[in-house]
Amino acid sequence: MSIEPQPAFKKLESSLRLKQLMASHFYELDEAARRGSHKIAWCSSVGPAELLRSLGFLVYFPENHAALLGATRKATDYIPAANAIGYSPEICSYLTSDIGACIMGETPLSRAYPGITRVPPPDVLVYNTNQCRAVKDWFQWYSRKFRVPCLGVQSFRQMDEVTTLHVAAISTQLQQLIPPLQEISGTRFDIDRLRETIELSRQCSELWGQVLETAAHRPSPLTFFDGTIHMGPAVIARGTQSAVDYYIFLLAELRQRIEAGVAAVNHENCRIYWEGMPIWGKLRELAALFLRLKTCVVASTYCNSWIFSDLDPRDPFESMARAYTELFITRADACKERYIKQMVEFYRIDGILFHEAKTCPDNSNSLYGMPQRLYQQLGIPTVVIHGDLNDLRLFSEEQAVTRLEAFIEQVQG
Amino acid sequence: MSELYLGIDLGASATKAVLLDSRRQIVARTVVATGLDFTRVGQEVLEAVLRQAGADMEHIRCAVATGYGRKNVHFPCLSKTEISCHGRGAYHYFPEAITVVDIGGQDTKIIRLGPDGRLLDFQMNRKCAAGTGAFLEEMARRLDLSLSELEQLAGQSQQDVKLGSYCTVFTFTEILALSRRGIAVPDLVKAIFNAIVQRVTELGVLSGKIVATGGVVAYNPTVANLLANRIGVDPLIPPEPQLIGALGAALFAFEEAEHA
């Protein structure tokens, strides 16, 4: 009888480069805000960032900031401030924590990046409701606060197939953004510049997809928890050369790991798919738990959601419309189930974990019986853990750990 | 003295320990209130079962801890979840395809096992104490009754009363309202037990052979009776249902040592 010590995390060498990329992103925004050198657009995470960049905006992503609030475990401090002005504790905790932080005049950026004292104020806010309706409400609050325009794209939901009619409608909405954005930016729209940006976004997306696909190797060179950190450039810097360069570097490191037989999880004997949002404030604890259980969470819907295979510079608006409409989150359950089945097969998954995030029903696919259906259809175990993306008051770690350990005991027979 | 196999179930309310001999017979068992110090109570039950068996630590060939405090024991011990341990313990008495309903202090679980005892799937209560022993304890405290008095009173109930609240706090508010309307205490108590059964049946589909385990079933057989009424099948009750998790842990300890 012996008790094994907690295995150590294997940090990717690319992490240093990632830190540099993130730092230069935020310092560039801070500098622009202070000097007024560039207009700043706030964009939802799967919003039309390429269009904004092509018009010369620097782009800031509130969802990325909200994830930082979660990861630094500050979100729960800020949520009550938003609740107090009428934003329910039942709605998106990205929204409530981010607005709460703004009300309290705090940001984790100031701790991470000395000299930065505030988030860069927007000249315009641009959303796409493909993620959820909350982004619109969230951005409209900032629009009222900063007295700047809030523009957006209204996406379709619950689609089994994305048709040409869907794509045409979104494409039209994207093109309708051009006149007001031109006026705010003071830059004339240039289709060639948009094509260049889309090409960089396409490359970023393709490389990010290849990074994630390295996890198909057994043992996997990376985990879902690595993915949640290293997806940063795909979110905040897609459409830039720096994101492309970063993923070339990361991909090379992961391929080296595969060649050298380096596993992200030593003695990997169980491979799990993570469906749903990360629990940002518990990434480290959960990563440590799976490491101890010799289990690798190899793939996730969440990290895959920033692969936009349809982007095509030859057809900028149609391809943006398709790429941002064919997201997992906008689709009907039948389509989501087909997708997860493909992932299970490709990554040779032993079990599926559903994170039911209390304040994010759009990203919680356990609410309408999907885990049970997939268990029946695929014959591999599924488990649901109850928690939240940012509000740690909604997560019982003891219960979740017991549930996950029992799940792995079940998977391993 | 033959080699011994220890199972400890450090639950949220009670800590249980079982010691098996090399023929997998129970030679010692104990149940104590957990309190706040899992390490201390783990040591306490260890010493209690060793004393009962007239053995000492060196006779223990393998030990497995389960329950919420399973990581807090300070003697050499493997750990296994209470899901697997309750399943294993129940299968020991009913070696066939079964569905185990375990109503513990903080968790209620439905555990489905195949004919070979393999864990097929499980459900647990959400982050909510409704339907657990903690709910029952809270209701007893608010009514100023002991758990055994609850059991007695439920037997005197003359009518079925339904409680609609999901939340433990609001359930008591509802009880106060019913009491003001003249509903007798025995009927309220039975309604509390029925609320537990309701929460259990909401967790998952109960079919086939059902085995009921856990402290609530051990001290409040009314729950098992009400469950039988609800699902139309008499649940099987193993001997000493509160010890089933600890027994399962001890059986895993035995099997671990056999395979070592």
Residues A346, A160: Cα–Cα separation, whole Å: 22
Which of B77, B81, B120 comes nearest A402 by C-beta? Answer: B81
A 10 A CB-CB count for B88 gives 27
Residues B210, B101: Cα–Cα separation, whole Å: 7
Residues B176, B184: Cα–Cα separation, whole Å: 11
Q: Is A406 close to B107, i.e. CB distance below 8 A?
A: no
A123: helix, strand or coil: coil
Identify residues of B whose CB sits under 8 angstroms from chain A CBs: 62-63, 68, 76-78, 80-84, 107, 118-122, 124, 126-127
B104: helix, strand or coil: coil
Could you tell me if A399 lies within 8 Å of chain B, comparing CB atoms?
yes
Q: Is A402 close to B82, i.e. CB distance below 8 A?
A: yes
Which residues form the domain of B246? Answer: 4-86+242-259
Could you tell me if A5 lies within 8 Å of chain B, comparing CB atoms?
no
What's the gap in Å between the CA of A396 and the closest CA on chain B?
A: 6
- The number of C-beta contacts closer than 8 angstroms across A and B is 45
What's the gap in Å between the CA of B146 and the closest CA on chain A?
A: 27
With cut-offs at 50, 70 and 90, classify the pLDDT of residue B134: confident
With cut-offs at 50, 70 and 90, classify the pLDDT of residue A319: very high
Please determine, for residue A2, whether its predicted confidence score (pLDDT) is greater than 50.
no
Identify all chain B residues contacting A410, using CB atoms and an 8 Å cutoff: 83, 119-122
Identify all chain A residues contacting B82, using CB atoms and an 8 Å cutoff: 402, 406
**Would you state the pLDDT for residue B210?**
96
Q: Is A319 exposed, middle or buried (0-12, 13-18, 19+ CB in 10 A)?
A: buried
Residue B92 forms part of a structural domain: no
% of chain A with per-residue pLDDT over 90: 97
Q: Is A406 close to B83, i.e. CB distance below 8 A?
A: yes
Q: Is B127 close to A396, i.e. CB distance below 8 A?
A: yes
B108 with B205, same domain?
Answer: yes
* In contact, A14 and A246? CB cutoff 8 Å: yes
Mean per-residue pLDDT, A373-393 = 96
Mean per-residue pLDDT, A361-384 = 96
A305: helix, strand or coil: coil
Nearest CA in chain B to A372: B121
* In contact, A345 and A299? CB cutoff 8 Å: no
What's the gap in Å between the CA of A394 and the closest CA on chain B?
A: 8
Residue A6 forms part of a structural domain: no
B126 with B78, same domain?
Answer: no
Mean per-residue pLDDT, A364-383 = 96
Q: Which amino acid does the sequence have at A156?
A: F
Residues B241, A127: Cα–Cα separation, whole Å: 56
Identify all chain B residues contacting A403, using CB atoms and an 8 Å cutoff: 124
Residue B19 forms part of a structural domain: yes
B160 with B41, same domain?
Answer: no
B10 with B125, same domain?
Answer: no
Q: Which amino acid does the sequence have at B215?
A: G
Q: Nearest Cα to A347, choosing from A404, A299, A411?
A: A299
Which residues form the domain of A237? Answer: 14-412
End-to-end, the C-alpha distance of chain A in Å comes to: 21
Residue B91 forms part of a structural domain: no
Residue A133 Cα distances to A112, A120, A175, angstroms = 30, 24, 21
Please determine, for residue B202, whether its predicted confidence score (pLDDT) is greater than 80.
yes
Residue A129 forms part of a structural domain: yes
Q: Is B127 close to A395, i.e. CB distance below 8 A?
A: yes
End-to-end, the C-alpha distance of chain B in Å comes to: 21
Which of B84, B122, B127 comes nearest A386 by C-beta? Answer: B127
Dihedral over Cα of A284, A287, A293, A294: its sign: negative
Identify all chain A residues contacting B78, using CB atoms and an 8 Å cutoff: 1
B158 with B214, same domain?
Answer: yes
pLDDT tens-digit series, residues B140-189: 898 999 988 999 999 999 999 988 777 777 888 899 999 999 999 999 99
Could you tell me if A15 lies within 8 Å of chain B, comparing CB atoms?
no
Q: Which of A110-114, A235-239, A354-358, B197-201 has the lowest mean pLDDT?
A: B197-201
Residues A320, A245: Cα–Cα separation, whole Å: 22
Mean per-residue pLDDT, A37-49 = 97
The residue ranges of DSSP E strands in A210-342, in sequence order, are 270-275, 295-300
* In contact, A57 and A185? CB cutoff 8 Å: yes
pLDDT tens-digit series, residues A302-312: 999 999 999 99
Within 364-393 of A, beta carbons closer than 8 Å to B belong to: 375, 381, 386
* In contact, A318 and A215? CB cutoff 8 Å: no
pLDDT tens-digit series, residues A114-149: 999 999 999 999 999 999 999 999 999 999 999 999
More confident residue, B105 or A346: A346
What's the gap in Å between the CA of A73 and the closest CA on chain B?
A: 20
ipTM over 0.90: no
Residues A334, A411: Cα–Cα separation, whole Å: 25
Nearest CA in chain B to A413: B118
Residue A196 forms part of a structural domain: yes
B187 with B227, same domain?
Answer: yes
CA angle B91, B92, B98 (to 5 degrees): 15
Identify all chain B residues contacting A402, using CB atoms and an 8 Å cutoff: 68, 81-83, 107, 124
B198 with B248, same domain?
Answer: no
With cut-offs at 50, 70 and 90, classify the pLDDT of residue A4: low
Instruction: Count, in order, helices (H) and strands (E) of chain B.
Output: 9, 9
CATH number at residue B170: 3.30.420.40
Percent composition of chain A: helix, strand, coil (DSSP 3-state, to 5): 55, 10, 35
DSSP state of A281: G
Q: How many domains does one find in chain B?
A: 2
Q: Which amino acid does the sequence have at A16?
A: L
B64 with B120, same domain?
Answer: no
B63 with B139, same domain?
Answer: no
Which of B62, B120, B124 comes nearest A399 by C-beta? Answer: B124
Which of B78, B118, B122 comes nearest A406 by C-beta? Answer: B122
Residues facing B7 on adjacent strands: B18, B64
% of chain B with per-residue pLDDT over 70: 100
Q: Is B76 close to A3, i.e. CB distance below 8 A?
A: yes
> Helix A134-146 and helix A62-71: axis angle, to 10°?
100
Sheet strands side by side (includes B119-124): B119-124, B108-113, B98-103, B210-213
> Helix A316-323 and helix A191-213: axis angle, to 10°?
30
B14 with B139, same domain?
Answer: no
Residue A8 forms part of a structural domain: no
Identify all chain A residues contacting B80, using CB atoms and an 8 Å cutoff: 409
Burial letters B8-31, b for 16+ CB under 10 A, else e: bbbbbbbbbbbbbbeeeebbbbbb
Residues A33, A36: Cα–Cα separation, whole Å: 5
Residues A111, B202: Cα–Cα separation, whole Å: 46
pLDDT tens-digit series, residues B225-237: 999 999 999 999 9
Q: How many domains does one find in chain A?
A: 1
Tokens representing residue A325 in the block: 């409409």
Residue A126 backbone dihedrals phi, psi, to 5 degrees: -130, 120
- Give the DSSP H/E element, type plus range, for residue B228: helix B221-231
Query: Is the preceding omega at residue A219 within 30 degrees of 0, hence cis?
Result: yes
Torsion of CA B129, B131, B136, B142, to 10 degrees: 60
Could you tell me if A158 lies within 8 Å of chain B, comparing CB atoms?
no
Please determine, for residue A270, whether its predicted confidence score (pLDDT) is greater than 50.
yes
Nearest CA in chain B to A394: B127
**Would you state the pLDDT for residue A405?**
96
Dihedral over Cα of A395, A46, A237, A91: its sign: negative
Q: Nearest Cα to B246, choosing from B35, B86, B23?
A: B86
What's the gap in Å between the CA of A386 and the closest CA on chain B?
A: 7
- What residue has token string 């109930």? B157
Mean per-residue pLDDT, A174-198 = 98
* In contact, A76 and A352? CB cutoff 8 Å: no
B130 with B70, same domain?
Answer: no
Residues A205, A398: Cα–Cα separation, whole Å: 37
More confident residue, B165 or B204: B204
A 10 A CB-CB count for B37 gives 12
Residue A117 forms part of a structural domain: yes
Within 19-48 of A, beta carbons closer than 8 Å to B belong to: none
A151: helix, strand or coil: strand
Residues B184, B161: Cα–Cα separation, whole Å: 10
Nearest CA in chain B to A398: B68
pLDDT tens-digit series, residues A323-345: 999 999 999 999 999 999 999 99
DSSP state of A349: -
B107 with B226, same domain?
Answer: yes
DSSP state of B37: -
Residue B155 forms part of a structural domain: yes
Q: Is A410 close to B119, i.e. CB distance below 8 A?
A: yes
Tokens representing residue A10 in the block: 């294997």
**Would you state the pLDDT for residue B219?**
85
Residue A7 forms part of a structural domain: no
What's the gap in Å between the CA of A83 and the closest CA on chain B?
A: 21
% of chain B with per-residue pLDDT over 90: 70
Nearest CA in chain A to B5: A1
